Chains A and B, each alone.
Chain A
């Protein structure tokens, strides 16, 4: 996919630098207007953080981008092309992977089985297809190595993995499908200090490999450490954007609470 079409966004950044733009997204659930015309962008090769108080619309925004919700109106463009997703698989097919908060791993299955769950490699044809276990094992091993995860053996059950290892496996799985964008919802919320550091390392490696990451986090320190760009949401709209290098925690708090206008 190339950028033949102009992006709707103009400004200081050349249009081609945006891998994703969401414009004027609206979504209501019954009488509740979760998104009231929110717009945001993500740049290539960057970690974009999405922050905001509970109920600000972060989750709905993310769910709209990952195909779980279909926006009532608004436009999403990916690589300059307008897209719309009816379900999570449609988003995936466009290269948008989501690491859900519950990780969507099956504990009773092995690491490599989880890696390929729902997208298994098979050989043979017709009703005689069998799982290509060898290829899946070695591919999963390679994907974990690439992200420099402290690699659990791919044939161990996920049940035996630590929280950080599970998170790493889920991230590596999301990254491993030639994805352009990986969305992560609170990736370190349940982790200790050491494991958080490891997972942050994985996220950095992922960015360095050219994948655009959308990070939802309540942890300002983490946002300041990891992200390149920050979008702030309040009451169903994106109220401000900042380069991470040009802001600080106090300003972000003020933007989130509305004490400071954007």
Chain B
């Protein structure tokens, strides 16, 4: 009996800390296998590459904490990128174009929120629909072609750095800090957790579940719009591409981070570490010369393993 309890406790420790343990393990393995992995240059590159995923994972974390899911998050980012490209090539300045990017992304978030919170459509179906809508809109307004963007501000954003920390990861870190504060130190954050934990009880205590749900989809979409800026900066163009990998990885990062898909258990640091882990995994495999074809396989295995582990999280 006691042995079983001890074993469960041990498993629950692993499950609670899957992301940091996995990250440390990956770093150790890759630094042994590849001498370049732990060089400052590679760390800097990894952190910059992780920034988009970190921001998306934080947005996804808010939605998943309410027990929902946003399948449209990467398509929303794509639409935001196209919005930026179109605005910028039509002569709006950087800041105005950035605003267009975030607002056009939030339009999708508003539709998600209204469908799910007011229309009571299942989150899975609603966001699957808006995934397609956002992708289609991006293709239509861009005519299916990438829009080149030559913005000095974007160049600074993608190439500037403080020490080994590039501006993108600094931006992501600021987003993470604000998100943590909002989730754990404000009334709104508590209500997000309450609605995810038990909508019925939350409502009985005077919380508007409708407003909370609407808000989390708006937050996720707004962050997708912000991530769109980093995407355009990295590529140098706004592409109407379907960034499926970002969608899967954003959910994977949240699951790796120990957030239950049933909602109610909020975490911000976990998903951030999950995003770093997935980026390190891809980066390490590339350094080792493993074919790109194996990367989705590796990510998939890690996520399934993490999902299995979460079964042993302490309640």
The residues of A with any CB-CB pair to B shorter than 8 Å are: 88-89, 92, 100, 102-109, 113, 117-120, 122, 129-131, 133, 159
Question: Can you offer 19 A-B residue contacts whose CB atoms are under 8 A?
Answer: A88-B206, A102-B200, A104-B200, A104-B205, A105-B198, A106-B194, A106-B201, A107-B197, A108-B264, A109-B194, A113-B190, A113-B194, A117-B202, A118-B202, A119-B205, A119-B206, A122-B187, A130-B185, A131-B190
Q: Measured between C-beta atoms, what is the minimum distance from B15 to chain A in Å? A: 16
Total A-B residue contacts, Cβ distance less than 8 Å: 63
Most buried by A among B185, B190, B193, B200: B190
Give the residues in chain A near B196, CB-CB below 8 Å. Answer: 108
New A-B contacts (9) at CB < 8 Å, excluding given A108-B264, A117-B205, A131-B187? A104-B201, A105-B198, A109-B194, A113-B194, A117-B194, A117-B201, A118-B191, A119-B205, A133-B185
Among residues 181 to 217 in chain B, which have CB atoms less than 8 Å away from a CB atom of chain A?
Answer: 181, 185-187, 190-191, 193-194, 196-198, 200-202, 204-207
The one of B181, B187, B193 that contacts A109, using a Cβ cutoff of 8 Å: B193
Docked complex Cα distance between A109 and B194 (Å): 7
Docked complex Cα distance between A92 and B196 (Å): 24
The residues of B with any CB-CB pair to A shorter than 8 Å are: 181, 185-187, 190-191, 193-194, 196-198, 200-202, 204-207, 264-265, 315
Most buried by A among B194, B200, B264: B194
Main secondary structure of the interface of A (DSSP, over half): loop
Give the residues in chain A near B265, CB-CB below 8 Å. Answer: 108
Q: Measured between C-beta atoms, what is the minimum distance from A51 to chain B in Å? A: 25
Residue of A nearest to B208 (CB): A118
CB pair B206 A108 closer than 8 Å: no
Per CB-CB distance, the 8 closest pairs between chain A and chain B, nearest first, are A118-B205, A108-B264, A108-B197, A104-B204, A118-B206, A106-B197, A104-B201, A117-B205
The one of B187, B200, B315 that contacts A120, using a Cβ cutoff of 8 Å: B187
Give the residues in chain B near A117, CB-CB below 8 Å. Answer: 190, 194, 201-202, 205, 207
Give the residues in chain B near A103, CB-CB below 8 Å. Answer: 201
The one of B181, B190, B201 that contacts A105, using a Cβ cutoff of 8 Å: B201
CB pair A88 B187 closer than 8 Å: no
CB pair A100 B186 closer than 8 Å: no
